[in-house]
Structure 1
Amino acid sequence: MTAFEPNSLSSYSQEDVQRILQLAIARQADEQDKEFSYEQLLEIATELQISPDNLKLAEIDWRSQHNELRQRQAFNAYRMTKFKKRVGNYAIVNGFLLLIDFVGGGTVTWSLYFLLFCGLVLGLDVWNTFPTKGEDYEKAFQRWNRKHQIKQTINSFVSKWFKAIQI
């Protein structure tokens, strides 16, 4: 492989430029172990001939995407917590039934059918819980997000109401 020659490619695609600059900025930030201020971001944009208006719109888009990503992470954590609780319930109920069956007859017989049926239900639960793409996931996320926003609105209203009463 030959050494890097700056003039070896006469042009770069927009995606290539974005990726190269992203890697260079990340490397510089790692070396200096710091974050960039808004003024530094504005200075970089000015050097790249990006207008302040376009920078502001890009920042708004980034904040929106970042907020949605955080909401999806919270939703995935919520789903995982619910799944772990169901697995715990499955283990407790089936362990109890296996114990009753064993103590009652000295062997495990009828409880295996219940164990297999619950295992099937748990397998379907795994099938529905772990995918993070697709129409079903989007519907579940939208439903959770609406519920979450309603809870936040109600909590905000109640806290304002209590503050008004205390005054």
Structure 2
Amino acid sequence: MVETERSPGLNRQQHLLIAAAIWILVGTGLLIMGCIFWFHFPYLGFVDREHIGFGSLALAVGLLKGKFILEKTAARTIERADALTETNPLKSIIQMFGGKTIALILSMMGIGIILRAAGVSFEIRGLIYIAVGTALLWSCQKYLVAARG
């Protein structure tokens, strides 16, 4: 059996696929929970004009946030992935995301915790989750395109 020499740590493509997977998992989870909270799925309780309208507005806000905020964040992350030197996989993922991106992620999580603790209604949280989930799903395509080549 011939042994091939393997470089330590993750390569660029693996880093970008990990970033995309995180964005896809979190975005999908938020979008699903947002739809459950807003439309009261799986009971189909509120699929009327008002709920469709506000749900569409949340979707549009999410697309705008994804395009104008999270796409820039993804572009910076991709640039950092090109210059990674860390061989420890966990440290290299933290290095890839960088301080601003980690702060953005933590602030979004903090806002979610505050909304829950403040007793904000499921409906309002649902609209916010729809917007943030859509933004994450929109921007994850940047990672997937960069990982392809």
Q: TM-score, normalised on structure 2? A: 0.35
Q: Greater relative contact order: 1 or 2 (C-alpha under 8 angstroms, separation 6 or more)?
A: 2
Q: TM-score, normalised on structure 1? A: 0.32
